[in-house]
Amino acid sequence: MKNPTAILLLHCPDKQGIITDVTRFISDNHGNIVYLDQYVDTVDSMLFMRIEWELDGFLIPREGLRTYVNALFSDRYDMSINVFFSDEKPRMAIFVSKLSHCLYDLLARYNAGEWNVDIPCIISNHEDLRYVAEQFGIPYHVFPITAENRAQTEQAELELLRRERISFIVLARYMQIISDDMIREYPHHIINIHHSFLPAFVGARPYHQAYERGVKIIGATSHYVTADLDAGPIIEQDVVRITHKDTPESLVLKGKDLEKIVLSRAVTKHIERKILSYKNRTIIFG
Amino acid sequence: MKNPTAILLLHCPDKQGIITDVTRFISDNHGNIVYLDQYVDTVDSMLFMRIEWELDGFLIPREGLRTYVNALFSDRYDMSINVFFSDEKPRMAIFVSKLSHCLYDLLARYNAGEWNVDIPCIISNHEDLRYVAEQFGIPYHVFPITAENRAQTEQAELELLRRERISFIVLARYMQIISDDMIREYPHHIINIHHSFLPAFVGARPYHQAYERGVKIIGATSHYVTADLDAGPIIEQDVVRITHKDTPESLVLKGKDLEKIVLSRAVTKHIERKILSYKNRTIIFG
Amino acid sequence: MKNPTAILLLHCPDKQGIITDVTRFISDNHGNIVYLDQYVDTVDSMLFMRIEWELDGFLIPREGLRTYVNALFSDRYDMSINVFFSDEKPRMAIFVSKLSHCLYDLLARYNAGEWNVDIPCIISNHEDLRYVAEQFGIPYHVFPITAENRAQTEQAELELLRRERISFIVLARYMQIISDDMIREYPHHIINIHHSFLPAFVGARPYHQAYERGVKIIGATSHYVTADLDAGPIIEQDVVRITHKDTPESLVLKGKDLEKIVLSRAVTKHIERKILSYKNRTIIFG
Amino acid sequence: MKNPTAILLLHCPDKQGIITDVTRFISDNHGNIVYLDQYVDTVDSMLFMRIEWELDGFLIPREGLRTYVNALFSDRYDMSINVFFSDEKPRMAIFVSKLSHCLYDLLARYNAGEWNVDIPCIISNHEDLRYVAEQFGIPYHVFPITAENRAQTEQAELELLRRERISFIVLARYMQIISDDMIREYPHHIINIHHSFLPAFVGARPYHQAYERGVKIIGATSHYVTADLDAGPIIEQDVVRITHKDTPESLVLKGKDLEKIVLSRAVTKHIERKILSYKNRTIIFG
């Protein structure tokens, strides 16, 4: 098995010496740095950094690392800090409705061992995809949603998510609006796939909108869910060329391939802790 | 020199026998068909067709061809018809403001003989690019535009266009709104390049809008100009991937390459008479 | 259910009147044409055509259609002809070794009803992916291959294919050379996915070759299998941009997404009978 | 005018503390870092770094900077070092033969002020493109090449390059082999554009090779010229989708747009000193 590592994600106003300070702190404590990437946003004068080092031989015990790093840098540099450990797998919940293509793509990767993640549950407002969950042996929970029961249903879902200690949520073509409550509980931890090249074709039936507008390229967009519909920070986008021969139906089919790939790329980056959000934009480390 | 050809572009409600009828008409009159492409829009039940044949040996004289074809098919099939001859070069006017990249790209192709077109004039609201026109020996006409003189300036431009027998107009990053008068005189014959992936980022400063929204891909769109700003039929689009490292300035630079290629592809298709517009969409023959 | 259709795929030396003749034959016999696409290869002066019409009300009985069409056109135009019926599902066999990503992608589409196809069996030289076949309830046959038993194993495979009346084969990252016997039995009916942008990086470990060469883009290629390794007619290719940060391992991961999409696009076109092969190239109808 | 900067490009075996050491050296001498990007090749355990800082207020005089940096780091870290100053413009020579599209693209950018570069001369083996050079007012030198005079002609070219203090060469579809002498004098400083997706279709007439092979995508590749034909380190590649409808001639036309964009992207990166070569691969800083 690979050596466990610590991952530090930070951002702060850019000042001389920060990179030196952070790398020196790790080196001085015998941490072997295996990844370092930083980016300075010269428009906003902000520094973003991801640094990863092996825990083996590192002098500071992992239990105290978060506190230690915060004490060292947080106030001094007005720094936002996140610390992760590679051997603490994130726990991912998948929300689905009736379309199977994204769900299959996620589960096929999970089964093939591509991701350092656990998937303890799949949640849906419909029974339709239970058979897929059963194919992969993952518990499938149905919460039918009506206009009347929406609020209390979401509370039940939140309880399940807490009970399963879910760290982030993937909406795999889930056809319901997420409430502000859930967004607040998972800020920048709910990943959606929207079946258009945002900000074009916000809202419902984007492929039909694309057909009506006569575009020559369609796209898909994965983004973090915020209170504004389809307006959260974009993680990944991709496109495919179409022609006048495409009908709304063929756009739906072509789009499915985009959606599943774009969603899975976003999930990969999230699991690897390679995304930082700032001012409704994302910094994606390579 | 190549054999001159006749090009027939048509569309009509789809019915059995139209393709047979049209091809038989050409064959029976000893026309050698060198290109045939048709497309049936099954959503709207419309047939679109482009057929091209050699004039050499064709029994119907070219002077009478338009009348003849209209008489044969127009009423019978409720058909819209356009006839072109390959040896009648379209005459293209270029409108520019201050940016040179699209203009250079158009003129470099023109000079290299890539296009079957004449460019008798370049029109601008600024003196800035006169030196480019002079490099290529093309007359450059400046019409300064102010809030007060807009209407009469456009009339002067229209007179110039008529005098030069201009058949279509290319807006090569021309930074003025085109009046309804000019659009009516050149319906679906004014090609614009918009520096975004329409319908995303309509209007001014699309690269800055793209930066603010945090997209991961930017685009450019060439389209026919209609009365609705940036909403005419799309001819061609292309995109390029960007990252969080891009600033508004670097987007402008990357976008320039997209703009010039996308505009020139649209101009190529227009010159080759391979575009049909229908219901704000374009059929682009291959 | 949709109206069953007949599909005619043909190619022949280009001559005047063929399209007229073929469409007239269908119209005269009360066939409603729902698809017509043709292409003339001007380099080789060959005509390629795909035409599809509804069988309902068509005057010629389907049992006799192949004979009838051949008698009408085959000699007269030196024409190669294939007739299919939309309600006769092709039967597809999948060959796999140890990698699951393409297999999952194929079966997820099959399960979602995207394809007009039956998949009666999956064949492998290893036990590894039996669990995937079982998830989808499809018989999984293992034929271990050694240097000694290769010839007789392939005979056993061929017998299974015949017994199951397999019409075409998909090699979903199957890591064995296909024998000339099997290729002869399924000429241009075995679809392979090669994990490079052919003809670059023929043979083994193409991602490692790509890494060594320092390319900036990697690709995947689906093609029909012929006696020449990785040299058969290409059906579909796609690419993805990489950087100097990619390792051979990350190329393998990025490539997997390409492979499964490119393979499935090729399978889609094959199932829809939209591919014609000629001189080691493919005509792909839209 | 922008503050002049110093740019340090380095690579060496990866060891703890190098980044700290280098950034500290600059900070301690009052250099304001405006760019820092580094990359660790974990396969070869090599560190690559580009760092740029403002010279204004920097304590070490620029005349001595190269010596100083070498003395500090070169031996200690087994480091390869290059120092550039942003106000020392590189001097670029363009070699052309008969095709104008790349030349126009380079000169249009140069004229628009996109690049921090001087272009004191254009060199050709033909008179054909003298008119383009004259349009832009750049001296055009013709060196006709025959089998007999090749060696002495190249010596004359080299003398011109030295006299003009040329720092790097761009082959803009120059149709002659570059001699080993010239390559030795400009190691990794000659940029070529090859009109294929290397390593596919090395050598002559790649579009015709692509047509014969029936690929579905064509590409272009810019690379540094080394003694091995078309085998030097790749700087940039791009591709465009084609179909069975493309002829060798239409591939040539589509390819031209690729070639000029891909070549200009490579030239941009070279001028910005954002390329490091290592083991026949390039590291391209963002």
* Digit-coded pLDDT (tens) for C84-126: 999 999 999 999 999 999 999 999 999 999 999 999 999 999 9
SS3 (DSSP) at B64: helix
Q: Token pair for residue C57?
A: 């009300």
Q: Which of B43, B63, B85 is the last residue of a domain?
A: B85
CATH of the domain at B25: 3.30.70.260
Domain identity same for A74 and A161:
no
- Strands A275-278 and C118-124, bridge-based pairing: unpaired
**Partner B contacted by A247 (CB < 8 A):** yes
pTM attached to this predicted model: 0.95
Write the DSSP string, A61-113. Answer: -HHHHHHHHIIIIIHHHT-EEEEEETTS--EEEEEE-S--HHHHHHHHHHHTT
Q: Token pair for residue C207?
A: 């991602």
Domain identity same for C176 and C49:
no
Q: How would you write B128-179 as a 3-class SS string?
A: CCHHHHHHCCCCEEECCCCCCCHHHHHHHHHHHHHHCCCCEEEECCCCCCCC
Nearest CA in chain D to B37: D245
d(CA A94, CA C100): 21
CB atoms closer than 10 angstroms to residue B162: 10
Nearest CA in chain A to D21: A20
Order of strands across the sheet with A217-224?
A140-142, A118-124, A91-96, A168-171, A190-194, A217-224, A234-241
Q: Which of A85, A115, A137 is the last residue of a domain?
A: A85
Q: Do B100 and D114 touch (CB under 8 A)?
A: no
Residue with tokens 């954002």: D274
d(CA B9, CA B269): 13
List of residues 6+ apart from C258 with CB closer than 8 A: C195, C218, C219, C220, C238, C239, C240
Which of the residues B44, B230, B246, B257 is marked catalytic? B230
Neighbours of chain B (3+ CB pairs under 8 A): A, C, D
- This complex has an ipTM of 0.94
Order of strands across the sheet with B5-13?
B32-41, B46-54, B5-13, B80-85
Model confidence at C270: pLDDT above 90: yes
Domain identity same for D79 and D142:
no
Average pLDDT, chain D: 94
CATH of the domain at B174: 3.40.50.170
pLDDT for the residue numbered C27: 86
Angle (nearest 5°) at CA D103 between D97 and D108: 165
> Pick from B135, B243, B257: which is nearest to D261 by CB?
B257
**Partner B contacted by C19 (CB < 8 A):** yes
If we measure between CA atoms, which residue out of C268, C112, B241 comes closest to residue A173?
Answer: C112
Residues of A with CB below 8 A from D20's CB? 19-20, 23-24, 27
B228 is catalytic: no
Angle (nearest 5°) at CA A122 between A117 and A128: 145
Q: Determine if residue D280 is left, alpha or beta; phi over 0 gives left, psi from -120 to 50 gives alpha, anything else beta.
A: left
Cβ A136 vs Cβ A130: under 8 Å? no
Q: Which of residues 97-116 of D touch B (CB under 8 A)?
A: 100-101, 104-105, 108-109, 111-112, 114
Nearest CA in chain D to C249: D43
If we measure between CA atoms, which residue out of A9, A13, A8 comes closest to residue A78?
Answer: A13
Domain identity same for D166 and D46:
no
pLDDT for the residue numbered D42: 81
Q: Token pair for residue B5?
A: 């050809």
pLDDT for the residue numbered B60: 96
pLDDT for the residue numbered A85: 97
**Partner A contacted by C240 (CB < 8 A):** no
Tell me the per-residue pLDDT of A73-130, one tens digit each, with 9 for 90 and over.
999 999 999 999 999 999 999 999 999 999 999 999 999 999 999 999 999 999 999 9
Cβ C261 vs Cβ C238: under 8 Å? yes
- The total domain count for chain B is 2
Nearest CA in chain D to B252: D114
Domain identity same for B41 and B150:
no
**Partner A contacted by C14 (CB < 8 A):** no
Catalytic residues of A: 230
If we measure between CA atoms, which residue out of C207, C270, C180, C260 comes closest to residue C233?
Answer: C270
Mean pLDDT by 10 residues, chain B (286 residues): 88 86 89 86 91 94 94 95 96 98 98 96 98 97 92 95 98 94 96 96 93 97 94 97 95 96 98 96 94
pLDDT for the residue numbered B96: 98
Domain identity same for B95 and B204:
yes
Domain identity same for D275 and D135:
yes
> Pick from A201, A213, A234: which is nearest to B215 by CB?
A234
Model confidence at D91: pLDDT above 80: yes
Which of C9, C198, C209, C217 has the highest number of chain D CBs within 10 A, making it the mutation to test binding with D?
A: C217
Domain identity same for A79 and A203:
no
Domain identity same for C134 and C245:
yes
Model confidence at A1: pLDDT above 70: no
Residue with tokens 């700032």: A278
Q: Which of B31, B61, B85 is the last residue of a domain?
A: B85
For range D147-154, the mean pLDDT: 90
Residue with tokens 């990619």: C246
**Helix or strand run (H / E) with residue C159:** helix C150-163
Domain identity same for B145 and B105:
yes
List of residues 6+ apart from D82 with CB closer than 8 A: D8, D9, D10, D273
C-alpha dihedral, C174 to C178 to C183 to C187, nearest 10°: 30
pLDDT for the residue numbered D136: 97
Domain that residue A224 falls in: 91-284
Cβ A79 vs Cβ A11: under 8 Å? yes
**Partner B contacted by A280 (CB < 8 A):** yes
For residue C111, give the DSSP letter.
H
Which of A198, A244, A246 has the highest number of chain B CBs within 10 A, making it the mutation to test binding with B?
A: A244
Domain identity same for D13 and D95:
no
Residue type, B150: R
Catalytic residues of C: 230
Domain identity same for D176 and D251:
yes
**Partner D contacted by A243 (CB < 8 A):** no
d(CA B262, CA B197): 11
CB atoms closer than 10 angstroms to residue D15: 12
Residue type, C163: R
Which of B47, B208, B209, B215 has the highest number of chain A CBs within 10 A, making it the mutation to test binding with A?
A: B215
Average pLDDT, chain A: 94
